[in-house]
A and B are shown apart, each in its own frame.
Chain A
């Protein structure tokens, strides 16, 4: 039997369908406005340099006594957690009565070239946590770290455990040298000092191109071919363009922080091997004694599941919970399943520890 059994009529129909979609696209794209994002109302409660802490406002007052502070990664913009009305982790958490705050890192420029991980973790995050605690008049808060922000949150929780009531990590790398971690493989032989000394801040475009190289054909071509299927659907096109904007709306990386992150986390894997120092203090995950919820994605090509799972073996808490989400690194925020499963998992877990 032949492997390919494409009937001529069907093939012709495929071509003509593509043509029709392209014709319809003309009208679709002309009628589209610039995509918006970040749908939930919010107020600024703290600002320092380019860092801003926001509090989101839900449709009803929060019932949770302890607020959640979301710490996003430096490598992308945080509005992924509040992308659009029907794809918003923030909105769903608010609907369940949580009180949600978020750290927005802004866009670092040359003035931020010398910011270190100490400045970020013991500086900005610490003061953001204090600002939220003051704002809600509580002594401890819940910290929700995402991806690189999750690694930062782990460090913060280990260094300042008395400020964290509960820790939630999402798609967070802990073991940076699992065999399936492509990014890690690529950076092992890099001369990071030469790299940062030469580039200063690491350009966002460079970061994005590296991410595209993780799956070059799928991300550079197949994705756009798939676009043909939705060209006549304005709503779907808006969703696509909104996601596209998020993917490429990336900040540059502050040079010194990038240097330490790559050397200590990726090359040294010190978060689990030990010897990681933030400022003048060493990070011991054993000091993470508060309850921990670790959520990771089973099809994550940026942070492989095994890179996250290992957290269970290193934290000092006796109250550790792990949730494996069926989806990818981005799908965990924007997929339909994510809207149903992730906020509920977080809320229920927190509620059980109130």
Chain B
């Protein structure tokens, strides 16, 4: 691509120099240089290595733009008095091979290079195939709907369906292209309108780049009008659906051939994947689902919080008795009281059971809630899910590091 491009650019440049006349040509001749930078680009990106997509897009854009600039200069010299001269280079730029008309092609067609007319997978079996929809399409369709007979009947039916799908796809491409051509035509009308608006003082176009940008605004505006229309919605939908039908038919044939050769097929792999995913969901549900896991995590957090509170309370009570005495005495008494406090603080804290209320809350509360939740789960009640608001006092974070849910997920 790059080599042809640079030779084109050089040739266009030379042609420009030969054909241009008047002050434009004189100015350009004074500074005329062949586009050597592009030749360097050719060496860099078009020679040894494979250019990246970005570079390809850039080179394409730069080529189109340079061609436009050069054509614009020619047009400016030849048609300095009218706007038509400025429109023509843009039209040529749009319609050129690999020009922006290509950008209007349907993306599905781009992703499936072999789908272009003439390269379809059924061309071998059907005379006249491979051409875009032709005037004798009706004959071709009637031929494809002939009844089939014999042991290979099913295969013939399948191939006929595939061929019909391909014909339909060609028709849909044609419909789409017609709409795109309408958008392009309308784009140039909008462009001329925008140019007319620039005839007012202070709004004139004063650079080729500004002219190009105005053209882009115009053609995008026209395209958007079409692309947002009800008609395009229909055409686009039909086009994509038609291509999917073609693809599905091709896949069907590939499946058949793969089966004949004893190879695994896409549908078999899909089935395995589908079943595997279903099993994963089932396993999760059997384990109680996320709701149960959430609830258990919540309850564990609550339990830990309660236990911690109970321990704090117990410790507080132990510490309170001697220290309260000591504090009370220290505020009012002398050395004797301080001795009492010292003695008390050195005394080991006796191990005492948790306060009755806290212990009951810690054990009975947890057990009760587990039982309630289990009952609800077995009964299939939705309210048992963890989606209801968790108790405000819960603290799930305490056991976060060892939460079995996280470990299971990682495995």
Contact = CB atoms under 8 A, between A and B. Distances in A.
Interface of A: 1-12, 14-16, 18-20, 22-23, 25-26, 29-30, 46-48, 110-111, 113-115, 119, 122-123, 126-127, 130-131, 133-139, 159-162, 179-180, 182, 185-191, 194-195, 197-200, 203, 205-206, 209-210, 212-218, 220-225, 227-228, 241, 244, 248
B400 A134 contact: yes
B342 interface: no
Interface stretch (B154-162, B220-228, B333-341, B343-351): B220-228
B332 interface: no
Contacts of A186: 227, 232-233, 236-237
Contacts of B69: 11, 14-15, 18
Contacts of B276: 114
Contacts of B395: 137, 139
Interface of B: 23-24, 27-28, 31, 33, 35-38, 40-41, 44, 53-54, 57-58, 60-62, 64-66, 69-70, 72-73, 76-77, 81, 83, 86, 100, 103-104, 107-108, 110-111, 195-201, 204-209, 211-213, 216, 219-220, 223-224, 227-229, 232-234, 236-238, 240-241, 244-245, 247-248, 251, 266, 269-270, 273-274, 276-278, 281, 290, 294, 297, 387-390, 394-398, 400-401, 403, 405-406, 409-410
Contact of B290 (A122, A138, A241): A122
A350 B267 CA distance: 49
Contacts of A16: 31, 33
A191 B204 contact: no
B395 to A, nearest CB: 7
Contacts of A182: 224, 227-228
A185 B396 contact: no
Contacts of A213: 103, 107, 227
A3 B228 contact: no
Contacts of B238: 189
A206 B244 CA distance: 13
Given A110-B273, A134-B396, 6 more contacts: A4-B83, A20-B37, A123-B290, A179-B228, A205-B111, A213-B227
**Chain A interface mostly:** helix
A48 B111 contact: no
Helix, strand, loop or mixed for chain B's interface?
helix
Contact of B233 (A22, A25, A189): A189
B397 A185 contact: no
Contacts of B200: 1
Contacts of B54: 241, 244
A188 to B, nearest CB: 5
B72 to A, nearest CB: 7
Contacts of A133: 396-397, 400
A56 B321 CA distance: 48
Given A189-B238, A216-B223, A23 B62 contact: no
Contacts of B245: 194
A20 B383 CA distance: 71
A110 B266 CA distance: 10
B61 A8 contact: no
Nearest to A207: B107
Contacts of A218: 216, 220
A215 B198 CA distance: 24
Contacts, number: 266
B409 A48 contact: yes
Contact of B406 (A134, A194, A212): A134
B240 A8 contact: no
Contact of B273 (A3, A113, A195): A113
B251 to A, nearest CB: 7
A212 B237 CA distance: 18
A81 to B, nearest CB: 22
A4 B394 contact: no
A12 B69 CA distance: 9
A200 B389 CA distance: 38
A14 B223 contact: no
Contacts of A134: 297, 396-397, 400-401, 403, 406
Nearest to B227: A182
B220 A26 contact: no
A6 B214 CA distance: 14
A95 to B, nearest CB: 26
Nearest to A245: B54
Given A6-B208, A22-B41, A189-B236, A126 B290 contact: yes
24 contacts: A1-B200, A3-B205, A4-B204, A6-B205, A8-B24, A11-B24, A11-B73, A11-B208, A19-B37, A25-B37, A26-B40, A29-B44, A46-B409, A114-B277, A139-B396, A179-B228, A190-B237, A190-B240, A191-B244, A206-B108, A217-B103, A221-B64, A224-B62, A248-B53
Given A26-B40, A218-B216, A4 B57 contact: no
A110 B274 CA distance: 10
B219 to A, nearest CB: 5
